[in-house]
Structure 1
Amino acid sequence: MTDPAPSRAEIVVDLAAIRHNVRILRDLVQVDDPVQLMVVVKADGYGHGMVEVADAARDAGADWLGVATIDEALALRAAGDRGPLLCWLSAPGDDFSGAVAAGVEVTAYTLEELDEIAAVGGSAHVQIKVDTGLSRGGAPRAEWVSLFAAAAAHEAAGRVRVTGIWSHFVASDEPSHPMNHTQEAAFRDALALAAEAGLDPDVTHLANSAAAILRPSSHFDLVRCGIAAYGLDPAPGETPRLGLRPAMTARARLVTSKPIEAGDGVSYGHTWTAHEDTTVGLVPTGYGDGVPRAAGNTASVWVEDSLRPIRGRVCMDQVVVDLHGELPPPGTEVVLFGPGDLGEPTAQDWAEAVGTISYEIVTRIGGRFVRRFVDREEGTP
Structure 2
Amino acid sequence: MEITGTPVMAVVKANAYGYGAVDVARIADEVGVDSFAVARVQEGLTLLENGIKKDILVFHAFSQEEIDTAVSNRLVLSLNGIEMLPKIECSFRKFQIPARIHLKVDTGMGRFGVFPEEIPSLAEAAMATGCIQIEGIYSHYANIDDDPDSPLNVIQKERFEKSLDLLRSINIYPAKIHCSNSAAAFNTPSSRYNLVRVGCALLGVNPFYYEPFPSYLQRALVWKTRLVSVRKLPAGYGIGYGQHYHLAEDSWIGVIPVGYGDGFRRMHDNVVLIGGKKIPVVGSVCTDACMVLLPDYFPIGEEVILLGKQGSESIEVEDLAERWHTTRADVTTGITDRVDRIYL
Q: Under a length normalisation based on structure 2, what TM-score does the superposition of the two structures give?
A: 0.92
Which residue type is aligned with residue 38 of structure 2? V
Query: Displacement of 1:302 after TM fit?
Result: 1.2
Match of 1:238 among 182, 193, 211: 211
Which residue of the partner structure matches residue 222 of structure 2? 249
Q: Which moved more, 1:359-368 or 1:56-65?
A: 359-368
Q: Secondary structure at the match of 1:193?
A: helix
Which residue of the partner structure matches residue 142 of structure 2? 170
C-alpha distance in 2 between matches for 1:107 and 1:127: 5
Instruction: Tell me if structure 1 keeps the 8 A contact 2:37–2:56.
Output: yes
Which residue of the partner structure matches residue 43 of structure 2? 72
CA deviations over 1:49-86 (Å, ceiling 9, x no partner): 11111010011121111111111111111111111221
Q: Which moved more, 1:115-124 or 1:348-357?
A: 115-124
Q: Which moved more, 1:36-45 or 1:331-340?
A: 331-340
Instruction: Tell me if structure 1 keeps the 8 A contact 2:275–2:310.
Output: no
Query: Displacement of 1:142 after TM fit?
Result: 5.5
Which residue type is aligned with residue 301 of structure 2? G
CA deviations over 1:256-297 (Å, ceiling 9, x no partner): 122345544432233334445432211111111221112x3x
Q: Secondary structure at the match of 1:128?
A: strand
Distance of aligned partners of 1:74 and 1:127 in 2 relative to their CA distance in 1, 3 Å threshold: same
Report percent identity of matched pairs: 33
Q: Which moved more, 1:57-66 or 1:336-345?
A: 336-345
Structure 2 spans left out of the alignment, 5+ residues: none
Indicate yes or no: 2:302 matched with 1:332: yes
Which residue type is aligned with residue 81 of structure 2? T
Which residue of the partner structure matches residue 309 of structure 1? 280
Which residue type is aligned with residue 373 of structure 1? Y
Q: Secondary structure at the match of 2:88?
A: helix
Query: Displacement of 1:196 after TM fit?
Result: 1.9
Q: Secondary structure at the match of 2:177?
A: strand
Match of 2:28 among 57, 61, 71: 57
Q: Which moved more, 1:284-293 or 1:89-98?
A: 89-98
Structure 1 spans left out of the alignment, 5+ residues: 1-25, 375-381
Distance of aligned partners of 1:67 and 1:340 in 2 relative to their CA distance in 1, 3 Å threshold: farther
C-alpha distance in 2 between matches for 1:320 and 1:179: 45
Which residue of the partner structure matches residue 23 of structure 1? none
Which residue of the partner structure matches residue 289 of structure 1? 262
Match of 2:338 among 344, 363, 368: 368
Instruction: Tell me if structure 2 keeps the 8 A contact 1:288–1:367.
Output: no
Distance of aligned partners of 1:75 and 1:90 in 2 relative to their CA distance in 1, 3 Å threshold: same
Which residue of the partner structure matches residue 179 of structure 2? 206
Instruction: Tell me if structure 2 keeps the 8 A contact 1:246–1:339.
Output: no
Match of 2:293 among 313, 318, 322: 322
Instruction: Tell me if structure 2 keeps the 8 A contact 1:248–1:339.
Output: no
Instruction: Tell me if structure 2 keeps the 8 A contact 1:205–1:220.
Output: yes
Indicate yes or no: 2:71 matched with 1:100: yes
CA deviations over 1:296-316 (Å, ceiling 9, x no partner): 3x2211112211121121111
Which residue type is aligned with residue 302 of structure 2? T
Q: Would you say how many aligned residue pairs link Structure 1 and Structure 2?
A: 339
Higher relative contact order by CA 8 Å / sep ≥ 6: 1 or 2? 1
CA deviations over 1:12-48 (Å, ceiling 9, x no partner): xxxxxxxxxxxxxx11110xxxx21111111111111
C-alpha distance in 2 between matches for 1:367 and 1:67: 18
Which residue of the partner structure matches residue 100 of structure 2? 125
Distance of aligned partners of 1:267 and 1:89 in 2 relative to their CA distance in 1, 3 Å threshold: same
Indicate yes or no: 2:316 matched with 1:357: no
Query: Displacement of 1:331 after TM fit?
Result: 1.5
Instruction: Tell me if structure 1 keeps the 8 A contact 2:116–2:162.
Output: no
CA deviations over 1:64-109 (Å, ceiling 9, x no partner): 1111111111111111111122111013333323323333211110
Instruction: Tell me if structure 2 keeps the 8 A contact 1:213–1:239.
Output: no
Q: Secondary structure at the match of 2:343?
A: strand
Q: Secondary structure at the match of 2:62?
A: coil
C-alpha distance in 2 between matches for 1:169 and 1:341: 38
Which residue of the partner structure matches residue 27 of structure 1? 2
Match of 1:181 among 113, 136, 154: 154
Query: Displacement of 1:356 after TM fit?
Result: 1.1
Q: Which moved more, 1:336-345 or 1:300-309?
A: 336-345
C-alpha distance in 2 between matches for 1:333 and 1:70: 39
Which residue type is aligned with residue 68 of structure 1? A
Query: Displacement of 1:206 after TM fit?
Result: 0.8
Q: Secondary structure at the match of 2:315?
A: coil
Instruction: Tell me if structure 1 keeps the 8 A contact 2:108–2:156.
Output: yes
Q: Secondary structure at the match of 1:86?
A: strand
Q: Secondary structure at the match of 2:305?
A: strand
Over the aligned positions, Cα root-mean-square deviation in angstroms equals 2.0
Instruction: Tell me if structure 1 keeps the 8 A contact 2:62–2:84.
Output: no
Q: Under a length normalisation based on structure 1, what TM-score does the superposition of the two structures give?
A: 0.83
